[in-house]
Chains A and B, each alone.
Chain A
């Protein structure tokens, strides 16, 4: 990507520098920067807001101080160079943004790091049993368990927004990707599933199978969100925006945690990737030259998590003849429809 010729000098210098770096390196730098800003374990302590960064502490600053350097050039000479406080590329990017605000040039990439609170606005259909066969079929049948349901707990996780400003004329359109650390979601039984036995009797004989209780299972979830955003106002200080896009909820390490369901064996739990439609709104606030704060609210609609628990075996203390029976598969269709609220800080910059 080539910077427009009309870009400010600082920006063009930056652009030229980027031309001489590999894309991987650019990305690494960007991630490192954002990680630093997010205060990740791999970053260093973030200075207090508004405090000037130590002049020599950051290679970023060194880099920023550096004049255009040839590709592969060690950073050390730049570190050694005296760095004016405004010479950082980030600051340059911020300046560029500021400049853009006045000159309609906006850096191509921005990163916001922070935390995300995922609050499912969940509702579920009745839990369905499938593949019920064998002795279990004497007590339960395929189909919905009347009055049953399931919910998902809220969760919070560090999350990042990586945005790319589309090179449209207005440069108000961006595309964003939300990345977050996998977080644990817990599935809970509700209704009759939690409070009454799903198989109280078989052939008129009490099976001894008790209510499941609340715990059902858990999984690590990774929601992947890609949106296209549009800045409603390209204000120097505040930029509200709206967005829309697709989302997919991926999970891993799904497992059943219910003691009744795990007494005989560990059933297989799987959750299909759950797509959804993201409706997004937020506000970017320009705090400093290069620092932005963002409050972002997303609602992911139509996100139906289809969870299956296979090879469920339960003890039948009331029927010692059987000892335990294989129930089959339990299917949970849960409308996750989460509201994701993110608060983050970040910066805009050009990588080339």
Chain B
């Protein structure tokens, strides 16, 4: 007893015996990756993220070596050919490793992480990759178009990546872009049918390779459905998509009795984890593009209502499949939106573009969904642990992105479908914190696509309020419109609204393209954020008035469009002409038949007289397409790409070093109204030799294998070559070029708009309206020699000057490359700009319509002579391309350039005399503002900043004469406009 007593007395000073604190904790190691393992359709610019539970050994990260199956290095990004050069950055609190790399389209990659990177990690694969994923491809291909993914998984395993619930939107990815005119919920195209074969009403969203089907009513769990893809669905080249049938059985998530939870963006001071998991900066959209530089948009306070499924429902069919069993399903219903801070666009990140978007809204176009699930990097039975085995979240979204500012909205608004996000879920401090990485491909200014990386962090907050939409949509702009004439007849009609509208109501007749007399024009309606693109199923008719009837139009919240004047436009007349269509631009290359070339240089344009400079060797970056523009529409049947060497009217062939044709390059040829483009199946190979051949034939007749205009005349490719005045020196156009590494420059073909010479005849015909936006004014200032007087037999076109000027209409297509921003830029006028965006201009041409020239000889004879179409060819600089610069001119983005031109009048001829308008050099300093049109396109309107004297020397019959002309200051006006942003031309 004494012992008992003694022990009893002493025990108070003895700590209680310890007992197990809980279930075993997980091993340290990897807790999260982005992309998720097995993810398909990963945007090319997505950050690759590997997050560990503890700080990594950053010094272990180095360039990798080895092979695709046995890479050597602590952290390796591996493609099919082995380790890929990548930039690694350790961020956050030393636990997050981010990789960025130039990924190839449609390519499988793997990420390998080795113990050197995280010696304490207990869950790194002993061999094999940590994660593998496949990148997105929007590249057209000659391969049959197939259904690539259903809800993130292969069509034969649609739940390979994520389970499908009754509330799920069905998201499809195709192997290449689809023809928007063929995309419809219809038999033979896309069908969703239930077990009895009845069609399931659904909302259809479409964008490039993505199609989303959001059933109007949630599907019925455990019931069988079929998704049918028919051959009526076609790709951009008109080829049918490979039919497919996918069986779907949605799983039960109790979506009929959801538990609604409010989530809001986490703000400073809110509860939640201190350290980030997916990105150092949370609730920000990171944009990194050479076009607008590097910037980040902060997410604004906002909320989402999330409907949680019943967490006790576990699938019994696949109990061992953790993707399907250990999850908490959720749905975020369409129409909800979040806001991000506005973007003040700065070209290259340094030149203010004069465009502010205002707040950017991100709205759900369909029911978003996902699941919260156990960490796949730990054993199945490992319960969640915030530090080492956090819950993960998977998200699938279809988004509309638009802006508050009308102009900014027109530039920015777009749809992003099939957006996939994944993240980490931390339950702590009384909140459920969801931090997800979401990679979104974003079109920038209609010129470039870049992947933006959104690190979205939401926390639960029962008091959070939704950003309800009580504002009616308004129509902001239309293209074509009264002030924006269509460039071609196969254009889509664009309507830009202030916010996304209900596509189904629009398709049900709310928005109709009609002729002026109210006849409905069959068309497919495609959503682009807050804009619609109405694709006529057949090209528009020339000289016809159209209107867009706006009936039952409402936003996603049901707010109806107020009474709005239907936008209307009239397509330009196509005046019949026998003039051949002429090549206006060729990229790569120059728009003329070349001569004088050899193995080292492509030569120069074939001219009637004086030859110009030899061009620098042509090359085409791996990520560029061949693009050829003509002055007239082409006859589709005449545009045939050869399938063997030396066949077809358009040939894109690989050549060996000896100049022999190896084989035609596989790729997709797209014919638009006045343009042909070609995208190879595989990117151009660096230093490989290729040849582009356009065949025109020996004469004007349109024979087989020749490219012809719709007027039945073979195209003219010899823009400045004549065997005699007005007699074309017909020849095929051959452009030899080599493949080059992919460029980060922003590539765009700017076209003059509006154009006066619609029919490409070289003259302003009766019925054609010349535009003052694209013209050159010529003033005859005197004559000498054999001439006593000269004039243009047209009215004065610039009333503001006391002199008489004659104006010609200009048309041009100019491929340019906006290069990364530069500083201390030397400008043509000798000044220096602190910063600028250099613009490399392709050596193309400007076609100047003919003017009637009236000359009087000393003999008293008066000669009235049409000049014929003049050609101003842009010359290259001695060491590279012609350059221009976008600078900041007191707040206005301004383009400045010194254009070194050759002026040609190939069709000008004098009896018994010759003129010198052959490769006549001119130097024209131009300057003008860059602005954004209401429909979002960029317009650069330049004018010459000094008088440009042009003397036309004529010699013949032992006499010479000179006509002194002047392009007065401001006489040259050239407005170059970027392509329509939303499918203006297919």
Contact of B7 with A by CB under 8 A? yes
Contact of A273 with B by CB under 8 A? yes
- Give the complex CA separation of A122 and B488 in angstroms: 92
Cβ B326 vs Cβ A321 within 8 A: yes
Contact of A253 with B by CB under 8 A? yes
Cβ B21 vs Cβ A265 within 8 A: yes
B15 to nearest A CB, angstroms?
Answer: 7
Question: Chain A 131-156, CB within 8 Å of chain B: the 1/0 string?
Answer: 00111011001000000000000000
Across-interface contacts of A264 in B (CB, < 8 A): 22-23
Stretch at the interface among A4-12, A47-55, A177-185, A190-198: A177-185
7 further A-B pairs in the complex, CB-CB below 8 A; given A222-B8, A325-B383: A181-B1, A181-B8, A220-B8, A250-B8, A250-B12, A253-B16, A268-B19
Contact of B346 with A by CB under 8 A? no
B277 to nearest A CB, angstroms?
Answer: 15
Known: A311-B22, A313-B23. A321 touches B308 (CB 8 A): no
- Give the complex CA separation of A35 and B1 in angstroms: 9
Across-interface contacts of B5 in A (CB, < 8 A): 160, 179-181
Cβ B23 vs Cβ A273 within 8 A: no
Stretch at the interface among B404-412, B427-435, B940-948: B427-435
Across-interface contacts of B432 in A (CB, < 8 A): 138, 203
Contact of A72 with B by CB under 8 A? no
Across-interface contacts of B308 in A (CB, < 8 A): 203-205
Contact of A318 with B by CB under 8 A? yes
Closest to A256 in B: B19
Cβ A138 vs Cβ B430 within 8 A: yes
- Give the complex CA separation of A321 and B380 in angstroms: 11
Cβ A181 vs Cβ B20 within 8 A: no
Contact of B18 with A by CB under 8 A? yes
Across-interface contacts of A135 in B (CB, < 8 A): 384, 427-428
A-B pairs, 4 with minimum CB distance: A250-B12, A222-B8, A252-B11, A135-B427
Across-interface contacts of A253 in B (CB, < 8 A): 16-17
Cβ A269 vs Cβ B16 within 8 A: yes
Sample (24) of A-B pairs whose CB atoms are under 8 Å apart: A134-B427, A137-B429, A138-B432, A138-B460, A181-B4, A181-B5, A203-B259, A203-B261, A204-B259, A224-B9, A252-B16, A253-B17, A265-B22, A266-B19, A267-B19, A268-B21, A270-B16, A318-B312, A320-B314, A321-B311, A321-B327, A321-B384, A324-B22, A324-B383
Contact of B955 with A by CB under 8 A? no
Contact of B372 with A by CB under 8 A? yes
B757 to nearest A CB, angstroms?
Answer: 67
Across-interface contacts of B374 in A (CB, < 8 A): 321
- Give the complex CA separation of A251 and B9 in angstroms: 9
Chain B contributes a number of interface residues (CB within 8 A of A) equal to: 45
- Give the complex CA separation of A124 and B89 in angstroms: 55
From 298 to 328 in chain B, residues with beta carbon under 8 angstroms from any chain A beta carbon are 308, 311-312, 314, 326-328
- Give the complex CA separation of A181 and B391 in angstroms: 50
Closest to A254 in B: B16
Known: A321-B326, A321-B373, A322-B383. A137 touches B427 (CB 8 A): yes
From 157 to 199 in chain A, residues with beta carbon under 8 angstroms from any chain B beta carbon are 160, 179-182
B297 to nearest A CB, angstroms?
Answer: 29
Q: How large is the interface on A (under 10, 10 to 19, 20 to 34, 35 or more residues)?
A: 35 or more
Contact of B2 with A by CB under 8 A? yes
Cβ B460 vs Cβ A203 within 8 A: yes
Most buried by A among B20, B314, B372, B374: B20
Cβ B311 vs Cβ A205 within 8 A: yes
A86 to nearest B CB, angstroms?
Answer: 29
Contact of A334 with B by CB under 8 A? no
Across-interface contacts of A255 in B (CB, < 8 A): 19
Binding site for A on B (CB under 8 A): 1-2, 4-5, 7-9, 11-23, 259-261, 308, 311-312, 314, 326-328, 372-374, 383-386, 391, 427-432, 460
Known: A205-B308, A250-B12. A265 touches B1 (CB 8 A): no
B66 to nearest A CB, angstroms?
Answer: 39
Across-interface contacts of B4 in A (CB, < 8 A): 181-182
Contact of A13 with B by CB under 8 A? no
Across-interface contacts of A42 in B (CB, < 8 A): 1
A157 to nearest B CB, angstroms?
Answer: 10
Closest to B19 in A: A266
- Give the complex CA separation of A325 and B432 in angstroms: 14
Cβ A265 vs Cβ B20 within 8 A: yes
Closest to A308 in B: B16
- Give the complex CA separation of A224 and B18 in angstroms: 24
A48 to nearest B CB, angstroms?
Answer: 23
Cβ B7 vs Cβ A182 within 8 A: yes
From 300 to 339 in chain A, residues with beta carbon under 8 angstroms from any chain B beta carbon are 310-311, 313, 317-326
Contact of A37 with B by CB under 8 A? no
Across-interface contacts of B259 in A (CB, < 8 A): 203-205
Contact of A345 with B by CB under 8 A? no
Contact of A239 with B by CB under 8 A? no
- Give the complex CA separation of A302 and B312 in angstroms: 48
Known: A254-B16, A313-B23. A321 touches B430 (CB 8 A): no
Most buried by B among A204, A220, A252, A321: A321
Cβ B12 vs Cβ A179 within 8 A: no
Across-interface contacts of A351 in B (CB, < 8 A): none
Partner of A133, one of B13, B312, B429: B429
Question: Chain A 248-282, CB within 8 Å of chain B: the 1/0 string?
Answer: 11111111000000001111111101000000000
Across-interface contacts of A248 in B (CB, < 8 A): 12
Contact of A31 with B by CB under 8 A? yes
Across-interface contacts of B314 in A (CB, < 8 A): 320
- Give the complex CA separation of A203 and B462 in angstroms: 9
A332 to nearest B CB, angstroms?
Answer: 15
Cβ B1 vs Cβ A204 within 8 A: no
- Give the complex CA separation of A313 and B20 in angstroms: 11
Cβ A137 vs Cβ B391 within 8 A: no
Cβ A137 vs Cβ B430 within 8 A: yes
Known: A31-B2, A250-B9, A321-B326. A268 touches B16 (CB 8 A): yes
- Give the complex CA separation of A182 and B21 in angstroms: 26
Partner of B11, one of A134, A182, A267: A182
Contact of A40 with B by CB under 8 A? yes
Across-interface contacts of A204 in B (CB, < 8 A): 259-261, 308
Across-interface contacts of A252 in B (CB, < 8 A): 8, 11-12, 14, 16
Closest to A311 in B: B21
B9 to nearest A CB, angstroms?
Answer: 6
Across-interface contacts of B8 in A (CB, < 8 A): 179-182, 220, 222, 250, 252
Closest to A273 in B: B12
A114 to nearest B CB, angstroms?
Answer: 14
Across-interface contacts of A254 in B (CB, < 8 A): 16
Closest to A272 in B: B12
- Give the complex CA separation of A31 and B4 in angstroms: 13
Closest to B20 in A: A265
Cβ B19 vs Cβ A265 within 8 A: yes
A283 to nearest B CB, angstroms?
Answer: 25
Closest to B14 in A: A252
Cβ A133 vs Cβ B428 within 8 A: yes
Across-interface contacts of B372 in A (CB, < 8 A): 321
Across-interface contacts of A179 in B (CB, < 8 A): 5, 8-9
Across-interface contacts of A269 in B (CB, < 8 A): 16
Across-interface contacts of B391 in A (CB, < 8 A): 321
Most buried by A among B23, B372, B386, B391: B23
- Give the complex CA separation of A306 and B311 in angstroms: 38
Cβ A324 vs Cβ B23 within 8 A: yes
Across-interface contacts of B19 in A (CB, < 8 A): 255, 265-268, 311
- Give the complex CA separation of A205 and B373 in angstroms: 16
Closest to B1 in A: A40
B26 to nearest A CB, angstroms?
Answer: 13
- Give the complex CA separation of A266 and B19 in angstroms: 6
- Give the complex CA separation of A245 and B23 in angstroms: 45
Cβ A326 vs Cβ B22 within 8 A: yes
Cβ A134 vs Cβ B1 within 8 A: no
Known: A267-B19, A313-B22. A251 touches B12 (CB 8 A): yes
Closest to B271 in A: A137
